[in-house]
Amino acid sequence: MEKLTAAFFERDATVCARKLIGCTFRWKSTAGIVVETEAYAEHGDEACHLFSRPSAREFVAKKPAGSAYVYLNYGIYWLVNVVCKNTVTGDRGFVLIRALEPTAGLAAMKKRRNKERLRELCSGPGKIGQALGITGKDHGKNLTLPPEGNQSGFWTPDSDDFEIETDRRIGISKAKELEWRFLMAGSEHVSIAVGKGR
């Protein structure tokens, strides 16, 4: 397993979102295998914060690829994204981390979530923020520093013995038709099964 560097995130969010499936996301003492992501793009995607939020545009203008974009959703849940920047085209975007298969720090996750069953710990973007203890104070954190400088970030998969499925994104009203949700086929840890998200 090798840690993903900034170069990994220097391409379209759709590419990064697909390639992050199967990777391990480590956050301090907790970790899990990424089993679900969504891509949001600067152009042609009205659901992306870059379309409607000046503060998001300002953020990506000054933060490098691989930075954490964390924001409060519905006034309650912290959602974690990673900044992507295509260095060739200049296009920018985010990958929303939507679900993990928990692999480390299970006791801490169970305590924060107040749940015992593994499937209820990280099967949704709001749950991930809660289980891993991620909040607005982590907004802007660089996830691509070397391990000795930052233990949080993404690692390449142990094996590539899995299939990737695509589906429409969850919980949005604009650009619903885009198939920019990526899932590890057959995983029990996804938020909503393929096709059931409407």
Binding residues vs DNA (CB under 7 A): 38, 40, 47-49, 52-56, 69, 71-77, 79, 81, 94, 96, 113, 115, 120, 124-128, 169-174, 191
Which C-beta is closer to DNA: that of 76 or that of 88?
Answer: 76
Cβ proximity to DNA: between 3 and 92 the closer is: 92
Helix (H, G, I), strand (E, B) or coil at 134: coil
Pick the closer one to DNA by CB: 14 or 191. 191
The set of residues, in sequence order, having a beta carbon less than 8 Å from that of 32 and lying 6+ positions away, is 24, 25, 100, 101, 102, 103, 104, 122, 189
Q: How far is the CB of 72 from DNA (least distance, A)?
A: 5
Q: How far is the CB of 161 from DNA (least distance, A)?
A: 27
Supply 171's token pair: 């919980």
d(CA 141, CA 153): 10
Residue type, 177: E
Q: Looking only at Cα atoms, what is the longest distance across the chain?
A: 45
CB nearer to DNA: pick between 28 and 57? 57
Cβ neighbours, 10 Å, residue 44: 10
> Shortest Cβ distance from residue 158 to DNA (Å)?
25
